[in-house]
Amino acid sequence: MNIGAILTLASGQNESEASDSSGSKQFGWRSLGTIDVLGASLLQRTQRKLEHLGSLSPRVLTESNGPSQFLPSRSSRSTAFVEEWERAVAELVHGGADILILGRISAYTDIDYTELLQYHAASESLLTQAYAGKESLDVAVVSAKLLRSANGAGYRSTLSSAIPQQKRFCYSGYVNWLRNVQDLHTLMQDALYQRCGLQPVGREVSPGVWLGESVVLDPTVLMSYPVYIGARSRVGSGCRVASASSIERDCHIDCGTTVRDSLVLPQTYIGLGLELSRAVAGPKVLFHVDRNVEVNIRDARLIGRTSRSLPFLSSMASLITDRWSQ
Amino acid sequence: MSSAVVVKLPEAMNAKNARRLGRELKTKLGGNSPFVVLDLSHMKSIDVSGVEGLLRCMSEVAKQDGALQLSGLSPEAATLLELTRLDKLMQKFPGFSIETPAFEMAPETIAEEVEADAVQLPVVA
């Protein structure tokens, strides 16, 4: 069976989903679905799951304005995104796909796509959507024969007509709706405490401590598990990483800083002697989870972006350390 | 009658405002054991120079055996103080109660001296 997949993603400034009273679905103008959590983003993890299923490499469509739609309705305006979506569906249908998986990068779930496909096949449905309770998980399986009957009507029109007859796949596992930055922080901690299936990208060097490749840790660093430190990140002397924290790839935590109960996003520099607590920090931006406030940090000596030469510096640091230890 | 100095920090606590704070405090903190209130209700950003400025402010108050407390702590200011660990340093100072009359400040002024009707220091057992 040939499986094709289309994933849609909202990125850039999104007025309809931008900050509301419970926080923003974006952080520093990035969609939460593209932000790394324990070494890979929701988008990357979904792509890998689908490829593991035997699907062709999923097409990723980005909607720059308004919420992304994984099933554009027949009444949707014909925007560049909708046209691109129609073209992507056409390519898959004409390319011989038997099944299409259409999804929107929004919530994190431990959904088993094999189970979903089996349900779709067993129910002999043309359209199956996954739900958690009454809420849609923004994942649908469509039989290509439904779309082949479109006959120039437009695929979104064909899909819209099939929605009333759709079958519902009821999912009862872990869901994190990723509606705001607090949800992202919660997902990180749920993963570290193994409350969901999200696996860190790296090696578990001791119980509850995962390290990515080429991490540079000063010998004086104190860590309290569970902790994740991403690839090529550097943690300086006298630092402390504690209470379910994640430092993503290519970061630099400078000397004497404490990271507690926090998520440090990729390529972030955290300055000397600072205290990061209950926060999500990115290059030049800091979000406090409990105060629900996002602060722009203008001084790169406090929180900034790591240098592009960091991988080279990390390699040199490792080389020097190895030479000294011989 | 004891008086307190209310320091309304600007939105951006940077090198320029840190220097201004230092100059203002030198003129305002004349007596022994000054009482200083840092009003952070407008502060939205701080850089390393701003941190140094606040540290100098605290150092000056401490040298004169004074008391320091915060008021109008916005969520942004609280987050920045926590990040830079200034919150823990400020907690070392004894607090005090003060009733300040409402007043309008000229935007250029950082520090203003306020006559207090009652100033009470916490009783230390």
Interval B91-106 mean pLDDT: 57
Domain membership of residue A248 (yes or no) is: yes
Has residue A118 been placed in a domain?
A: yes
**Rounded to an integer, what distance in angstroms lies between the CA atom of residue A58 and that of residue A68?**
16
Cα B76 to Cα A292: distance, rounded to the nearest angstrom? 10
B82 contacts in A (CB within 8 Å)?
Answer: 275, 277, 288
Residues of B in contact with A271 (CB under 8 A): 48
What CATH number did the domain enclosing A104 receive?
A: 3.90.550.10
Per-residue pLDDT of chain A (326 residues; tens, 9 = 90+): 889 999 988 654 333 343 333 344 456 556 888 899 999 999 999 999 999 888 778 899 887 665 556 666 655 566 788 888 888 999 998 888 999 999 998 899 999 999 999 999 999 989 999 999 999 999 999 999 888 876 656 788 888 888 888 999 999 999 999 989 999 999 999 999 999 999 999 999 999 999 999 999 999 999 999 999 999 999 999 999 998 999 999 999 999 999 999 999 999 999 999 999 999 999 989 999 999 999 989 899 999 999 755 555 555 555 555 444 44
Do A298 and B45 make contact, defined as CB atoms within 8 angstroms? yes
Is A71 among the domain residues?
A: yes
SS3 track for chain B? CCEEEEEECCCEECHHHHHHHHHHHHHHCCCCCCEEEEECCCCCEECHHHHHHHHHHHHHHHHCCCEEEEECCCHHHHHHHHHHCHHHHHHCCCCCEECCCCCCCCCCCCEEEEECCCEECCCCC
Range of the domain at A264: 200-325
Domain that holds residue B77: 3-120
Judge whether B52 is closer than 8 Å to chain A, CB to CB.
no
Q: Would you say residue A195 lies in a domain?
A: no
pTM, full prediction: 0.83
Please tell me the distance from the alpha carbon of residue B119 to that of residue B96, in angstroms, as a whole number. Answer: 7
pLDDT, tens only, B42-73: 888 888 899 899 999 888 888 888 888 888 88
Asked if residue B24 is part of any domain, the answer here is: yes
A274: distance to nearest CA of chain B, Å? 5
* Shared-domain flag, residues A142 and A227: no
Q: How many domains does chain A have?
A: 2
Return the CATH number at B23: 3.30.750.24
Q: Which of residues 259-298 of A touch B (CB under 8 A)?
A: 271, 273-277, 279, 286, 288, 291-293, 295-298
Token readout for A225 is: 């598990």
**Per-residue pLDDT, A11:** 59
B85 touches chain A (CB under 8 A): yes
Cross-chain residue pair B47–A279, CB shorter than 8 Å: no
Number of domains in chain B: 1
CB proximity under 8 Å: A 123-142 to B: none
How much is the pLDDT for B62? 87
Residue A130 in any domain: the answer is: yes
Domain for residue B85, yes or no? yes
ipTM of model: 0.80
Nearest CA in chain A to B79: A288
Question: Is residue A287 one of the residues assigned to a domain?
Answer: yes
Check the CA dihedral A45-A46-A48-A49 and report its sign. positive
Torsions phi, psi for A242 (to 5 deg): -145, 170
Hey, which residues does A167 pair with through a beta bridge?
A128
Asked whether residue B125 is domain-assigned, the answer is no
Q: Which residues of A touch B40 (CB under 8 A)?
A: none
* A286: chain B residues, CB-CB within 8 Å: 79, 83
Of B48, B78, B84, Cβ closest to residue A291: B78
Task: Specify whether A168 is located in the same domain as A215.
Answer: no
Looking at the fold, whether A37 and A147 belong to one and the same domain comes out as: yes
A150 and A229 part of one domain:
no
